[in-house]
Structure 1
Amino acid sequence: MTLARRATALVLAVAATLALAACAPTSPADPQASAPAGGEQQSDPTMPPTCKTILPETLVADFESYGLVPVEEPFSFGDPATTSIPDGVECKWGNADIATDHGVQLFGWAPIDAAGTEKWLTYLTEQGWTRTEGDGLIYLSDPFEGVEGVTYAFADGYVVLADSKEFVQLVSPR
């Protein structure tokens, strides 16, 4: 399969997963809202998060079927040396055999308290990130892409990261 066909297939797989996730309840007060897309079981919240446990099993299987593997790094707001959150994970899913930043999918999850939320909301706002609110979340999106690209979503007790605002819902709140 050519690289172009793989990329197209990946985009279709992610789109299908998003379509399924859109059917799930989104109200934070709804106990079902914390369940990952597709009705899958959440990973054990007492275990450290990994690239394979913060996403729905079906999405992980789709990524792996296209030859994508995760590169696991500390969750950060830029430079991991100065902005990392302990106990969090940031995942870049891509094809290790191809040196590119195209076709890479970005996801992350980290625990965060109220003081940390305030600190990082202030930091990102000062950096020019676009703030929106909805569904019980505070979103900060990368202003440099002209669209709601890379996005952090802050909730009570955790923050998630995805390469677009729409993909935030794929990350399990644990």
Structure 2
Amino acid sequence: MLATRILGTAAALALSAVLLSACAGSPEAAPEPTGNAQTPTTAAPAPSATPEPAPASTEDPTCTTIIGESVVAEFEKVGWSSQASPLYIGSTEIEDGLQCMWANFDGPAGDHGQMFGWAPLDDADAEDLQAELESQGWLREEDAAGVYITESADTAIAPDEDGYGMTYIFTSGQVKVADTKQNLLLIEWPQS
């Protein structure tokens, strides 16, 4: 009985070794020597104890990256596509800003669509732009998330269920805009 157990264990170990060597793949063949000189080889560097930090994303925002993948998929599922344009706040074009309109541009004209935008923005410019919008009748609200500037309910074309139309949110170093305050939640840029 002990001999059977030892043979069974030996067979299992041998089978494991065969399977592991098959999964590991075959090593590359050594190059054929071409002369009398031997090519020196360098040892592989030892693995670092601390991993290198991942580089920051250098990707530019696009209409398909500033909002979530699932939102893009839903828009495309119903035949919508996007058109990108520069982002303006009041009369000012925001450098490196992006505004995206999502709609069915191949279908009949209508009022169905959604708009999203994002731009990097320093605090001094943000204050000036907020003041310009407020002077035009836009409304200001502040909370822990940032400064919201929203169009007046008197001029909002398609407000959300809380009565908010087109709304900007100014936070440290950036601004986001959507056709409603609720839709600001769909903007997922910058990605981390």
The two structures have a TM-score, normalised by structure 2, of: 0.63
Match of 1:124, as an amino acid? Answer: L
Match of 1:46, as an amino acid? Answer: T
What is the match of residue 71 of structure 2?
A: 59
Match of 1:153, as an amino acid? Answer: I
**Number of aligned pairs?**
128
Deviation at 1:173, TM superposition (A): 3.7
Tell me, yes or no, if structure 1 residue 70 matches structure 2 residue 71.
no
Q: How does 1:124-135 map to 2 (within 5 A)?
A: 124-135=133-144
What is the match of residue 96 of structure 2?
A: 87
Tell me, yes or no, if structure 1 residue 96 matches structure 2 residue 112.
no
RMSD: 1.6
For residues 45 and 84 of structure 1, the distance between their equivalents in structure 2, rounded to whole angstroms, comes to: 24
Asked if structure 1 preserves the Cα contact closer than 8 Å seen for 2:61 and 2:189, the reply is no
Select the structure of larger CA radius of gyration.
Answer: 2
Match of 1:130, as an amino acid? Answer: L
Runs of at least 5 residues in structure 2 that lack an aligned partner in the other structure: 1-55
For residues 177 and 110 of structure 2, the distance between their equivalents in structure 1, rounded to whole angstroms, comes to: 17
Tell me, yes or no, if structure 1 residue 150 matches structure 2 residue 166.
yes
The two structures have a TM-score, normalised by structure 1, of: 0.69
- Specify whether residues 112 and 61 from structure 1 end up closer, same or farther in structure 2 by C-alpha distance, changes over 3 A only: same
Q: Which runs of 4+ in 1 moved over 4 A?
A: none
Quote the sequence identity (%): 38
What is the match of residue 176 of structure 2?
A: 160
- Which protein has greater RCO, CA pairs closer than 8 Å, 6+ apart? 1
Asked if structure 2 preserves the Cα contact closer than 8 Å seen for 1:94 and 1:105, the reply is yes
Deviation at 1:172, TM superposition (A): 1.7
Q: How does 1:5-20 map to 2 (within 5 A)?
A: none
For residues 106 and 95 of structure 2, the distance between their equivalents in structure 1, rounded to whole angstroms, comes to: 30
Runs of at least 5 residues in structure 1 that lack an aligned partner in the other structure: 1-43
Match of 2:72, as an amino acid? Answer: V
